[in-house]
Each structure stands twice: as structure tokens, then as C-alpha cells.
Copies of this chain bind each other. A is one copy, B any other.
Amino acid sequence: MRAYHLTTGPDLSALEPVELPEPVPGPGQVVVQVGAVSLNYRDLVIALGRGAGGSAPPVVPCSDGAGEVVAVGDGVTRVAAGDRVAGLFFQTWLDGPIRTSVHASALGGAIDGMLAERVCLDADGVVKLPAGYDAAEGATLPCAALTAWNAIVEEGGVSAGDTILLQGTGGVSIFGLQFAKALGCRVIITSSSDAKLEHAKTLGADATVNYREHPEWSRPVRDLCGGDGVDLVLEVGGAGTMEQSMKAARAGGRISLIGILAGANERTAIGPLMGKGLRMTGIYVGSRAMFEAMNRAIDVNGIRPVIDRSFPMDETVDAYRHLQAGAHFGKVAIAL
């Protein structure tokens, strides 16, 4: 069975194609024939050795994959052979709030991930795909879509009519745009590219700001809100953008911290949180119960993921490079 291993290389050469033995499901387990994986910024960070995946190398990379159940172990009733499923990012976060223990079950980091033709998972660790989704579409959901859902619905607690600020046009932001519009919210999105901003408008963005033109982009954002500010920011930049995000939020607004592109050790002045009574919450993917709720929303609203480009399995390194280049709009996938 073909798979990739992530070794200890200093760069993307750490990604090595390997042959692994066929997985056999134990009691309560299932084997999934993986049809596609999608890449997240986290996969890149782990591959470049800058983030601790948690597991000693080699590990099978990639948290997000989807495909078809091809074998089930004793006692499995949640799913059956033939079901189309995605794996849970945190295999053991089923319901309720995040707990420390879930970290040890993160696919493609703490444990082997999805970049393999077949993977063995707990039956509890998979979720059925929305109706009509193919494997590549399903593979976009476990991290990027669920992070956006958690940030907007669970922690964001938005209502229809609220204004949400999205930063850039990566996978989480584009899912955020689609969810926000399905929820009846108003969306302001930023990018350095007018072309991407136009693309975002075709997906429903109500207003756009080119942050290269407006390095102090919180000003036009506040102007778009009658001088007050947005109800929710999906913060992907971390220290690099947080100052503007805090200025862009209304008093009592919320910031869902979903990415720290500027680096985990960069520093931010958090004083403005106090004066404006802001709430900032770190979002770390989500639970299976959230995943299932999100899939119901996807079904009812007919949401389809935006896939920037799909690479064949043997061009995996090119797929990583494409993500690294940062020119994508939506998700980058690998077909197996």
C-alpha cells in the first residue's frame, strides 16, 4: 500500500513515498480507502519541522482525508462498508468542550495521518460526508471547514445580521465566507489581491478591503460599520494583524484566533481587549458533534467547498509547495 512518511528533513524533502503493510481493522475499527487528502497550513509547518507534530518521526502526514469504508472490525455499528466518510482531526474529541487529552489523537501529527491509500481508524473517529460530496470535497472538511464552523457558530455565537471580518482567502477564510453567508451574516473580507477580492464577491462577500492599499485596514472596516466595528473577526495572522483586528472589532466584539501565521512566538499588545471588552478565543478545530452539525448545515444550504487545485499523489511535494507559495484561493487537495 502506498503512503507518504514525514521524516526529519529540514525541508519538504522530508516527505517520502513509502510502501506500508495493509491495515487490518481490530475490534471497533474501520479501514478507509482514502480518495483524497487536503492540505492545511499546519501540515506545512509540521513538514518544515517548525511545529511539533507530537509524534516521533516517521509519521504519515496530513490530518484531512476522506474516502470509503472498505472493512469494519468486530462490534462496529456506526458505519458500514461502502459509507463515504472523513476522519476526525482529533480522533477522540467526540462531544463537549476541548480537553487536554485530545491532543494525543491528532491525525498527521500525534498519530499517523491520512496520506496513505488505506488507513485504519476507530469507528468513532469518522464522520459521514454530506450528500453528494466526492472524496476531495470531503477531505476539505476535517480541519479547515470545522475550524471556520467552530469559530463562527460555536464560539462566535453570531446571529443573522452580524458583520464578520475575514482575513485573506485561504481555506478557513473561504469556508468562513460560505458559512457566514448561509447564516445570514454580512461579510467583509481582506486580501492583498484585487482579483481574489473580486472572486470573494462572487461567493457572496458584501464588502472588501485590500490591505496592501490600506495597511491600517481597520479604518475602512470601521467605516463600513458606521464607525463602530465588526461583531466577529476570524484572525489568521496572529501578532501580525491582531492590532488591526482589535481596532476593527466593535466594543464587546469577538476575535476567533484560528491562525498565527506570524509565528507562535510573536508578541501582541493585548491592552485593547480590556478597553473594548473584547473576547478572543483560540480555536483548535472542533469536536465530532460540531462536525455533524456542520454537515447538516452544509446539506441544508448546499455548500460546496472551493478547491483551488488538486494534485496527484506522486506530486505531493508540489502540492505542499503550492500551499507554501500562498497564491491559492480555498483549498489545496491531493487525489489518491
> What residues of chain A have their CB less than 8 Å away from a CB belonging to chain B?
27, 94-100, 102-103, 153, 155, 159-162, 179, 182-186, 206, 228-229, 238-239, 242, 250-252, 257-260, 263-284, 289, 293-301
Q: Does the CB pair B281–A257 fall under 8 Å?
A: no
Residue in A161, A250, A295, A297 whose Cβ sees the most chain B Cβ within 10 Å: A161
Complex interface: chain B residues within 8 A of A100 (CB) = 228-229, 250-251, 276
Which of B277, B294, B297, B300 contacts A98 (CB under 8 A)? B277
Q: Does the CB pair A269–B267 fall under 8 Å?
A: yes
Q: Does the CB pair B297–A274 fall under 8 Å?
A: no
A245 to chain B, nearest CB (A): 11
Q: Does the CB pair B283–A274 fall under 8 Å?
A: yes
A237 to chain B, nearest CB (A): 11
Q: Does the CB pair B273–A257 fall under 8 Å?
A: yes
Q: Does the CB pair B98–A95 fall under 8 Å?
A: no
Q: Does the CB pair A260–B283 fall under 8 Å?
A: no
Q: Does the CB pair A296–B162 fall under 8 Å?
A: yes
Which of B251, B271, B295, B300 contacts A238 (CB under 8 A)? B271
Q: Does the CB pair B294–A161 fall under 8 Å?
A: yes
Q: Does the CB pair A160–B182 fall under 8 Å?
A: yes
Complex interface: chain B residues within 8 A of A279 (CB) = 155, 279-282
Residue in A94, A268, A298 whose Cβ sees the most chain B Cβ within 10 Å: A268
What are 11 residue pairs bridging A and B, where the CB atoms are less than 8 Å apart in the complex?
Answer: A100-B276, A153-B159, A160-B297, A161-B299, A161-B300, A183-B183, A186-B300, A238-B271, A239-B267, A268-B270, A273-B280
